[in-house]
Amino acid sequence: MKQLIHSYLFNKMVLSCLLFTLYFCSCQHSFAAAFDLNNSDVLQYATESVLPADYEEDGQLVIANGSDTLNLIFKAGFGLSNDFRYARLDVINGAFNSSFVASGFATSGTFDSFLVSGGSIGDSYLVVEVSAGSAAGPDTLFTLESNSFLWNNTSEPLEIKYTLYDTADAAVNGLSFLYQKKVKLAKMIKAAGEDYVHSFEHSVGFSQSFLRFNPSFRSPNTFQLGDSTESLASTGKVLFDQLIVDDVLLPSTSVAITDYRQLIPTNDTANDNVRISGDFSSVRAFLNADDNCAGAEIDLIEFSSEKEVFTSIDNLVTHPVFCLEVTSNNIKVKRADYFIDLGTQLNEKLLGGIRYDGAAIDLPYLSNFQLYKQKIFLVNMAGYPVKYLTLFTAETAVQNQYTPGMLAEGEIPADSTLKISVSDLVSISGLTQRISARILLDAAPNDIAAAVQTVAVGSSSPPNTNVLKIQKN
């Protein structure tokens, strides 16, 4: 009690010297962004953005003000008069990390206030004596100009408890009170989301001889994200803003995080750690600043057998749109999916894809072996001719050892069946007389049927016939 009175008298003397200065400062200061114990939502800080330098030596996390975010505003909760009352603030799971003025609270024309106990850096409480020359109601606002707190255990919220007492003894010893309010001031959250890509599929087909995209953009409409012309496709976009939870704060400043890179402070975002994978053998791939792929660009890879290319997060922040261009007049566009891995703890995501329109038939085993005779039967049940195209996939021993045959590409007449011998489909010159193929058809899957028949030459066994599955590309 003696300590409380001594501190009270000392603060009154100091206040008399500082009164004019305090009044001037309070008039200039705005508390529009202060934390209101009655109305504000709990402040959310990003776990991912915390660095070792943000901790005190004893392990307490320091959260600090970038503006008025950590200033506290709260109602008196009980009427004020000439009689002294004592306002106490307790920091639960932490401590003050600010030096407060002698008045404790920001000066006001409604009441007088004096800091009488606590309130030093490292203290977890303070007591302020308040009185009013004219009666003031319970809605009278107090403002504590705090700018930093120490946070003990960040797995639990940092809380503030305000209590108004009738006597100094009750305030110091936590006895009966007139009013009390307890709120959560701050909590730590995982601020990085998971969905950070907007991806699109583009198609190629018989109408463009598989050399160009089927356009989705029609002039004079505006070319937008996800559109394509015959030669250019806006395929995907990295949306870093979706990786940041709304209104999440940086502990060192209490300023809202708006840049994903603040959530990965230990990563060198200028390094080429971002991997984009897919089939680049028939396309030119690049990053662009604009959704229509017409702005500033960064080249990635072009007509390459490489299956992945690397870039940086910094490049993606300024050039977030993934674009594909097809310009060859003899290389058919490959069906492909493109994936992105940011090189952080986030999962790989689909960045975009190229599809073939129409139907497809897979032939995992075709052979030119002389003791076998294979035939493919393609049935067109549509009322119009259907074009088809055969794409071959060879194992290592057959690479560059095969030539597409005269019937590898053609047309099935309307309402008819086309029989193709494997020897007319492909010719293999090497020792390994086998290959796989996919037949693409310019039709709906339910308009096509197919089968493959194999006959062993010189054998009395009946032909082996397998009905093939027709799938949509």
pLDDT in tens, 61-106: 999 987 789 999 999 999 999 999 999 999 999 999 998 999 999 9
**Domain range for 42:** 2-189
The count of domains in the chain is: 3
* Of the listed ranges 23-32, 295-304, 400-409, the one predicted with least confidence: 23-32
pLDDT for 290 equals: 97
Q: Are 122 and 241 part of one and the same domain?
A: no
Q: Are 181 and 237 part of one and the same domain?
A: no
Q: Are 40 and 160 part of one and the same domain?
A: yes
Q: Are 76 and 132 part of one and the same domain?
A: yes
**Residue 22's pLDDT band (cuts 50, 70, 90):** very low
Q: Are 142 and 226 part of one and the same domain?
A: no
Q: Are 308 and 180 part of one and the same domain?
A: no
pLDDT above 50: residue 443? yes
pLDDT above 70: residue 5? no
* Of the listed ranges 15-29, 114-128, 313-327, 453-467, the one predicted with least confidence: 15-29
Is 106 in contact with 141 (CB distance < 8 Å)?
A: no
Q: Which of 315, 335, 356 is the last residue of a domain?
A: 356
**Residue range 122-159, pLDDT digits in tens:** 999 999 999 999 999 999 999 999 999 999 999 999 99
Q: Are 39 and 54 part of one and the same domain?
A: yes
pLDDT for 218 equals: 73
Question: What is the Cα 234 distance to its own chain's centre?
Answer: 19
pLDDT for 433 equals: 87
Q: What would the mean pLDDT of 412-431 be, rounded to a whole number? A: 92
| pTM more than 0.85 | no
**Residue range 35-62, pLDDT digits in tens:** 999 999 999 999 999 999 999 988 999 9
Mean pLDDT of the chain: 89
Q: Are 173 and 257 part of one and the same domain?
A: no
Q: Are 266 and 312 part of one and the same domain?
A: yes
Q: Are 229 and 309 part of one and the same domain?
A: yes
Q: Which of 315, 341, 356 is the last residue of a domain?
A: 356
Question: What is the Cα 396 distance to its own chain's centre?
Answer: 40
pLDDT for 220 equals: 75
pLDDT for 26 equals: 37
pLDDT for 151 equals: 98
Indicate the helix (H) or strand (E) that contains 392.
strand 386-393
Q: Which of 303, 334, 356 is the last residue of a domain?
A: 356
Highest mean pLDDT among 215-229, 294-308, 442-456: 294-308
Burial of residue 396 (number of CB atoms within 10 Å: 0-12, 13-18, 19+) = exposed
Q: Are 268 and 365 part of one and the same domain?
A: no
Q: Are 142 and 206 part of one and the same domain?
A: no
**Alpha-carbon gap, residue 118 to 99, rounded angstroms:** 10
Is 18 in contact with 161 (CB distance < 8 Å)?
A: no
pLDDT above 60: residue 9? no
**Alpha-carbon gap, residue 42 to 284, rounded angstroms:** 48
